[in-house]
Amino acid sequence: MADDDLETPPLVIDAVTVRYGDTVAVDAASFDAYAGEFIAVTGHSGAGKSSLLWAIAGAVTAEGAVRLGDDLVTDRSQGAGLGIEVIPQGSALAVLLTAQENLELPLLARGIPAQEARHRVQEALASVGLEESGSHLAEELSGGQQQRVAVARGLALRGRVLLADEPTSELDHDNREKVLALLRAEAQRGAIVVMATHDPEAAAQADGEIRLDDGHLETVRVPRS
């Protein structure tokens, strides 16, 4: 949806609550984020970080509201149409497709012309140091390589909002630093980047931090708050 010259409206999270049966995973979380901001969502395992990101993406049923500018995010398809993209935890690759196919198919599904899609795929794989691995099946790659392919897929989509769920969890130090630099570059491009992480060193590289504790938003440190 988006290109290199973004006009990203504010992302508004308004009293978002996510329930799984009787369990409240996210409890009335509210914050705003703006174009060019790179924000970390932190908290212990099970604190609600992933649920919050998926609610922003429109992928889980939630109370409250998520808005990108004047548009209300109602479901995942509509969120993707607005340019809200996700780097999921654990890569979520199709293991019997090649790395290149895992990147290319979502681009084609968004209506990106085939030649442009191939260019984006090559550029994104090179950015994560996997330019020689595009023809390898995802199941042939190590866990860290699969994670980098997932990051490359998110980058290739060039969304207005990029939600990254533990994008550095399986990476060594050098690749972690490379991925964090790429996420920051996305923010500098004009995207809003929201990264869920349990790694305090990774969180420290973001512009701001939102901390969850058992679904409750405990602290907010965002650039414009």
pLDDT in the model for residue 223: 72
Strand-pair partners of 178? none
Q: Tell me the per-residue pLDDT of 174-220, one tens digit each, with 9 for 90 and over.
A: 999 999 999 999 999 999 999 999 999 999 999 999 999 999 998 77
Is residue 39 within 8 Å of 209, Cβ to Cβ? yes
Hey, is 52 helix, strand or coil? Answer: helix
Contact 76/84 with Cβ under 8 angstroms?
no
In the chain, which ranges are E strands? 11-20, 23-33, 38-42, 63-68, 71-72, 84-87, 161-165, 192-196, 208-213, 216-221
Token pair in block for residue 58? 């429109």
Residue 59 scores a pLDDT above 70: yes
Mean pLDDT of the chain: 93
pTM across the whole model:
0.93
What pLDDT is attached to residue 219?
76
- Give the separation between CA 24 and CA 147, rounded to whole angstroms: 29
Who wins on pLDDT, 170 or 206? 206
Return the number of other C-beta atoms located less than 10 Å from residue 114's C-beta.
Answer: 10
Q: pLDDT tens-digit profile of 102-149?
A: 999 999 999 999 999 999 999 999 999 999 999 999 999 999 999 999
Please determine, for residue 3, whether its predicted confidence score (pLDDT) is greater than 90. Answer: no
Residue 15, pLDDT score: 97
Q: Do residues 92 and 70 touch, judged by C-beta distance below 8 A? A: no
Find tokens 């998110």 and name the residue.
154
Can you give the pLDDT at residue 2? Answer: 42
Q: What is the DSSP string of 106-140?
A: HHHHTT--HHHHHHHHHHHHHHTT-TT-TTSBGGG
Does residue 160 have a pLDDT over 60? Answer: yes
User: What proportion of the chain, given as a percentage, has pLDDT over 70?
Assistant: 96
Do residues 32 and 196 touch, judged by C-beta distance below 8 A? no
